[in-house]
Amino acid sequence: MPSIDMPLEEMRRYKPALYRQPDFEDYWRTTLDEALRQPLNAELIPYKLPCAGAECYAVRFDGYKGGRIAGWYVRPRGNGRCPGICVYHGYSGRAPRPLDVMHFVAAGFCVLTMDTRGQNGQSQDAALYPDGHYMGWMTQGIRDPKTYYYRYVYADAVRALELLAGREEVDESRLAITGVSQGGGITLAVAALSPRPVLALPDVPFLCDYRRAVSIAVNGPYPEISNFIKAFPDQYEQAFRTLSYCDNLNLAPLIRCRTIISNSLWDDVCPPSTIFAVYNHITAEKQMEIYPFHKHELPYEHRELQYRVLVETLRP
């Protein structure tokens, strides 16, 4: 499939203006204050898996403003304090399970994975959305920024990182966050909203530069937004006003940790220009790994690169 996007050199220069609302900072300050004050009520349930070097647990904690968020926690056996990795998953999927992260645990990392609320894992979505939405989650609560689905998701993700940081066996000064697609978008958001990560590894991230993404993405979740606006054309301005609060384009300047982003130039789900739009607004230490002939996918070599960077940076 040929690229549907801009030429690479044009994308390298692509830096659309931020479109934050006047109360953008207050919106997130209020949200995070609420999210961090709310008790986690975390529960770790031992999970039997024959592995001599690791301990596995099913995780439950309270979601932002209600419901129980599910996930998995795997730690190396032993008494030392370890670096931690928090992992977020792709759209409509579920969190990586214990065997999926065992290579990190074998290297000395504690790993927490989170089921995104209401999707295909076990996390509950207890939020009340006053109106209907197009199928999927992209337009759930979109008529009001305070009820928008991804406000809750980002707050849940910050709370998951707090749970990891609070474990006695975890060194809270050595934390990384990562995820693919939706998980990559959540990774970018948490890097912007939490001071805890020292390393962010978002892969082919979703939730970036919504206005361009909606206009060119032909597959994946972005068309949910255009289909909603097609049904309710009077909601065009309000929809993008709501989206502006959760667009990583607007959050990118808040990122303070080292960030390594992967970008596949034949991606018709998360268009590469939308990822460049966010990347070009990040002022922290950063690098982009470009894969010119991949679609919404990653090569093995990128996984190995991430593994090496994690080990070198967090020193397990």
Which tens digits make up the pLDDT trace of 131-173?
999 999 999 999 999 999 999 999 999 999 999 999 999 999 9
pLDDT exceeds cutoff 60 at 1:
no
Alpha carbon distance 251, 231 (integer Å): 29
User: Is 178 contained in some domain?
Assistant: yes
Give the contacts of 148 (CB within 8 A, at least 6 positions apart): 140, 141, 142, 242, 243, 245, 246
Percent of the chain at pLDDT above 70? 99
Residue 218 contacts residue 268 (beta carbons within 8 Å) = yes
Tokens of 94: 């579920």
What is the Cα–Cα distance from 146 to 27, expressed in whole angstroms? 8
* Residue 294 annotated to the active site: no
- Would 193 be classed as within a structural domain? yes
Structural domain containing residue 214: 8-314
Cα end-to-end distance, the chain, whole Å: 41
Q: Is 267 a catalytic residue?
A: yes
Question: What average pLDDT does the structure give for the chain?
Answer: 97
- Given 89, 281, 296, 302, which residue is catalytic? 296
Residue 30's region, left for phi above 0, alpha for psi from -120 to 50, else beta, is alpha
From 203, 267, 281, 302, the catalytic residue: 267
b/e burial code for range 114-144 (CB count within 10 A of at least 16 → b): bbbbbbebebbbebebeeebbebbbbbbbbe
- Between strands 110-114 and 82-88, the pairing is parallel
Q: Give pLDDT, residue 14.
A: 98
Element (H, E) at 72: strand 68-76
Whether 3 has a pLDDT exceeding 90, the answer reads no
**Confidence (pTM):** 0.98
Residue 296 catalytic? yes
Is residue 1 one of the residues assigned to a domain? Answer: no
Q: How many CB atoms lie within 10 A of CB 28?
A: 22
pLDDT at residue 283, rounded to an integer: 98
Strand 199-203 and strand 170-180: pairing? parallel
125 domain residue, yes or no: yes
- 129 belongs to a structural domain: yes
Residue 4 has what pLDDT? 73
Residue with tokens 């998701």: 153
- Domains contained in the chain, number: 1
pLDDT band at 79 (very low <50, low <70, confident <90, very high): confident
Encode pLDDT of 187-240 as tens digits: 999 999 999 999 999 999 999 999 999 999 989 999 999 999 999 999 999 999
Percent residues over pLDDT 90 in the chain: 97
In a domain? residue 3: no
Give residue 2's pLDDT.
Answer: 53
Residue 216 lies in a domain: yes
Average pLDDT score over residue span 115-121: 98
Q: Which of 181, 194, 244, 264 is catalytic?
A: 181
CATH of the domain at 99: 3.40.50.1820
Is the separation of the CB atoms in 104 and 83 below 8 Å? no
Q: 89 and 122 in contact (C-beta within 8 Å)?
A: no
d(CA 315, CA 84): 11
Residue 298 forms part of a structural domain: yes
Q: Are 295 and 304 in contact (CB under 8 A)?
A: no
Distance between CA atoms of residues 157 and 202, nearest Å:
14
What number is the average pLDDT over the span 32-61?
97
